Structures are given as structure tokens and as C-alpha cells.
Amino acid sequence: MSGYWVYILYSEKGDVYYKGSSGNPAIRLVHHNTTERGYTSRYRPWRLVFRKEYRTKAEAQAAERRLKEMKSKLGFRQRLE
């Protein structure tokens, strides 16, 4: 299946997570680690800590929105374990 992915990146530098969706999370990771400007450039390097595939772009975007609504880092970390 070649669908859409929800991915989560982690930066030790800023102790921050970045949540996104893409048709190819590996290429997006390269982009986040090489783009000169933008939010993610200040926290490099990023590493991929989670990804999940969905059948459609709409499903992936809905899952991304749910992830972004999570407020607590502690609760988020517990869900990853």
C-alpha cells in the first residue's frame, strides 16, 4: 500500500516534537534537517520516532490534527511507549 503517513520527529536540542503528515516521511525528514529557514531549522537535527500509514490523505491529516491537539508532553511520551 502506498498511502499517506503521519510522522513524529524529535529534537534533543530543543526537547521538542514535531508532528506532520506526508506521502513520504523519509523525504520530509531530510527536508526538515536541511531546509535553511523555518520552525524546524532551529532545532536540528531531527530524528524520526514514529510513523503510521493511512489509506488516504484525509485520514492521515485527521490523525495529524488529533496528535497536534495533545497538550501534555508526558501524556504524549506515554502513548509512544
How confident is the model at residue 48, as a pLDDT? 97
| Structural domain for 26, as ranges | 4-80
> What distance lies between CA 67 and its chain's CA centroid?
9
The pTM of the full predicted model, rounded to 2 decimals, is 0.81
Residues of the chain with pLDDT under 70: 1, 71-81
Coil/strand/helix, residue 80? helix
Per-residue cell: 43:
532545532
Q: In total, how many domains does the chain have? A: 1
pLDDT recorded at residue 78: 61
CA dihedral 30→11→48→80, nearest 10 degrees, is -160
Instruction: State residue 64's pLDDT score.
Output: 93
CATH number of the domain to which 60 belongs:
3.40.1440.10
